[in-house]
Amino acid sequence: MNWVVVCILLCTYGLLKEFRPSEPYLFLYQNQHLNISEDVLNGEVSPSVFEFHLILLFQVYPYWTYSYLVALIPVFLLTDILLYKPVLILESIFFIAVWLLLIFGRAMWTQQLGQILYGWATATEVAYFSYIYVKVDRKHFERVTVYTRAALQSGRCLSYLISQPIIIFGWGTYLTLNYISLGSLVFTVLFVFLLPWVKWQSVVLRNTASEETNDAEGEDVILKQPDTYKEFLRWRVSYLWQDAKKVYSNPFMVKWSFWWALTMCGWLQIGNYIQTLWSKVQDGSDQVNIYNGFVEAICPFISAGCILLLQWFKIDWNRWGELWLALAALVDFGLLYVLCKAQGILLMYLVYGTYHVLYQIMITISQFNLATRLVTHSYGLIFGLNTMIALGLQTIMTITVVDKRGLGLPIRTQFLIYAGYHAVISFMFFSTVGMRAVHRFRRNKKAESKSEDLATSL
The answer to the question of residue 228 being in a domain is no
- Domain membership of residue 311 as a residue range: 241-457
- DSSP tag of 50: S
pLDDT value, residue 45: 47
Q: How many domains does the chain have?
A: 2
Q: How far apart are CA 410 and CA 229, in angstroms?
A: 53
CATH code assigned at 179? 1.20.1250.20
pTM of the entire predicted model: 0.81
For 447, residues 6+ apart whose C-beta sits below 8 A from its C-beta are none
Q: Answer yes or no: is 136 within a domain.
A: yes
- Indicate if 174 and 249 belong to the same structural domain: no
Gyration radius of the chain's alpha carbons? 24
Q: Which pLDDT score is estimated for 186?
A: 94
Question: What is the pLDDT, as a whole number, of residue 8?
Answer: 92
Regarding whether 180 and 32 lie in a shared domain, the answer is yes
Q: Round to whole Å and give the CA distance between 200 and 33.
A: 48
Last residue of a domain, one of 167, 199, 231: 199
Q: How far is CA 5 from the centre of its chain?
A: 25
Q: Are residues 177 and 67 in the same domain?
A: yes
Are 63 and 122 contacting, i.e. CB atoms less than 8 angstroms apart? Answer: no
Give the CA diameter of the chain. Answer: 89
Side chain identity at residue 196, one-letter code: P
| pLDDT score, position 181 | 94
| Distance in angstroms (rounded) separating the CA atoms of residues 301 and 299 | 5
Whether 181 and 273 map to the same domain: the answer is no
* Residues 152 and 278 grouped into a single domain: no
Looking at the fold, whether 53 and 110 belong to one and the same domain comes out as yes
Spans of the chain, pLDDT less than 50: 45-58, 215-216, 218-219, 288-289
- Among 143, 166, 199, the domain boundary falls at 199
Same domain? 187 vs 262: no
Exposure string of 373-411, with b = 16+ CB inside 10 Å and e = fewer, is: ebbbbbbbbbbbbbbbbbbebbbebbbebbbbbeebbeb
In a domain, 303, yes or no: yes
CA angle, residues 385, 42, 257, in degrees to nearest 5: 20
pLDDT at 47: 42
